[in-house]
Structure 1
Amino acid sequence: ENPDANWKLPDDFTVAFGEVQGELLVGGVFLRIFIAQPAWVLRKPREFLIALLEKFTELLEKNNAHGETLETVTTATVCLFSAQPQLMDQVPPLGHLPKILQAMSHKNNAVPKCAIRVIHILTDNELCVRSMASLDTIAPLISGMKKRSDMIGFACEALNRMFQKEQTELVAQALKVDLVPYLLRLLEGQGLENLESPAATKAQIVKALKSMTRSLQYGEQVNEILTRSSVWSAFKDQKHDLFISESQTAGYLTGPGVAGYLTAGSSSTVMPIVPPLVDHEAGDLG
């Protein structure tokens, strides 16, 4: 009652925002809302990109990262690059690529899966592939494929994209770690049992191998290995484009069952798809 009285809030006082409690906020963006509407204009796309990659690589390096959080951050990263592919040009100088590649060998099997998903989308970008050629890329990718056989389709499409961009050093890496014999074994069907579309994956493998043979420096070495393979002689002249469809990897743009990851954890309140009206910048989409 006394307007002159001094008062202060208790030290343990917190404001519980009913609509945001339990939501994952990265770089001022609610990830669940962003995943639902990735085409929305971000106020600060570069800042969001940096914050998202920092969060992603931080989770990759943890021994026991929270599964739903890792899946949501991975999906948001893929959505960002799908909606704004020009942002991929900024990835190499930020320095996160080595950490993503190293994560392919992580003992937590959820981590290689997420790393493969992000590398898969990044191989659509010329600058990212050029940067991958200067890093140890092929060996970690093989490691990830062996740990997560269900992701071999994505990894093979990533390899196809890499080799189509004619980076000589990637072919050199492939020869050094015996990628060609490994892909030929996959072409025989070994290790493709967990895939929904083995034929589409085999088509990606054939195209990747053919791209490798066009290397001016190492193409002859690749050809020597292929000519000794009976399985290659059976596949090399077939038309494979019909087996490759957009639906092969479309499901991982949002991730399987991703809706379950977008609710607010243990909170009973779920945020609406339409973002709430807020006055402060941190609550904006970006």
Structure 2
Amino acid sequence: MRHQSKQLRDPNALFEDSTNTQNAQWTPPGEVAVGGVYLRLFLQNPQWSVRAPKKLLQELLTETLATLPKDCSEGSRGDVCAQALAALLRTRPALADACAQLGELPRLARLLPACPRQALPVLAAVAGTQSCVTALSSTDVMAGVRAAVKSCRDVAGVACEALAAIFSSSANTDRLVSQVSE
């Protein structure tokens, strides 16, 4: 409506798309917003269509990996971002390949011992794709999973789910098997 009133006053008025402006968005206190998506609302219904899923994935992955090392307590920004990232990857499995292409899986694997409750669900969400398993095989992910389960017994089920997805993939898992046997 604002543009229409501007255009009525001045026919040469240009349309300014609010999504393209780099102004800081207002976010209510206590809300976590990444890529223009309120994550608590997204977590309530992850099947919602998002405007740019790959862009959201990239921003969510970056934000998760930046905030989890600082604070991975329950309800923290890092925790909410990790939950939203896992939900996004579970509801849109095709994005997991893009996750492997971004090259952030080694950082995720390094977070496993420190933040097992947040990192393992994300790992389980990406473990079903061949490109992610290939990327994970170049890291020491099995030691991270082992340390995560030792430090937090609650995540054993999620760890088993991730390992089952990894070893049932068609990717070459010889490196991962050798990591397990060490």
Shared fold (TM-score greater than 0.5)? yes
- The equivalent residue for 1:116 is 120
Instruction: Classify 1:90/1:141 alpha carbon distance in 2 versus 1 (closer, same or farther; 3 Å).
Output: same
Q: Distance in 2 between matches of 1:21 and 1:75?
A: 19
1:54 and 2:62 are equivalent in the alignment = yes
Q: Deviation digits for residues 156-203 of structure 1, max 9, x if unmatched?
A: 221122122252111121122xxxxxxxxxxxxxxxxxxxxxxxxxxx
Out of 155, 160, 177, the position equivalent to 1:171 is 177
- The equivalent residue for 1:135 is 139
Map of 1:77-116 to 2, 5 A cutoff? 77-106=85-114, 111-116=115-120
- The equivalent residue for 1:34 is 42
Q: Distance in 1 between matches of 2:177 and 2:30?
A: 46
- The equivalent residue for 1:228 is none
CA contact (8 A) 2:31 2:38 kept: yes
- How far is the alpha carbon of 1:66 from its aligned partner? 5.4
Question: Where does structure 1 differ by over 3 angstroms across 4 or more consecutive aligned residues?
Answer: 64-67
Q: Distance in 1 between matches of 2:110 and 2:89?
A: 21
- The equivalent residue for 2:74 is 67
Q: Which has the larger radius of gyration?
A: 1
Residue type of the partner of 1:52? Answer: L
Map of 1:175-190 to 2, 5 A cutoff? 175-176=181-182
- How far is the alpha carbon of 1:146 from its aligned partner? 0.4
- How far is the alpha carbon of 1:70 from its aligned partner? 2.5
CA contact (8 A) 1:74 1:118 kept: yes
* Count of aligned residue pairs for this structure pair: 156
Residue type of the partner of 2:177? Answer: V
Instruction: Classify 1:163/1:65 alpha carbon distance in 2 versus 1 (closer, same or farther; 3 Å).
Output: closer
- How far is the alpha carbon of 1:37 from its aligned partner? 2.2
TM-score when normalising by structure 1: 0.51
Q: Distance in 1 between matches of 2:60 and 2:38?
A: 11
Other structure's SS at 1:41 match: coil
Q: Distance in 1 between matches of 2:84 and 2:157?
A: 21
RCO comparison, higher one (Cα < 8 Å, 6+): 1
- The equivalent residue for 1:125 is 129
Out of 34, 43, 50, the position equivalent to 2:51 is 43
- The equivalent residue for 1:277 is none
Residue type of the partner of 1:132? Answer: L
CA contact (8 A) 1:60 1:100 kept: no
Q: Distance in 2 between matches of 1:44 and 1:169?
A: 35
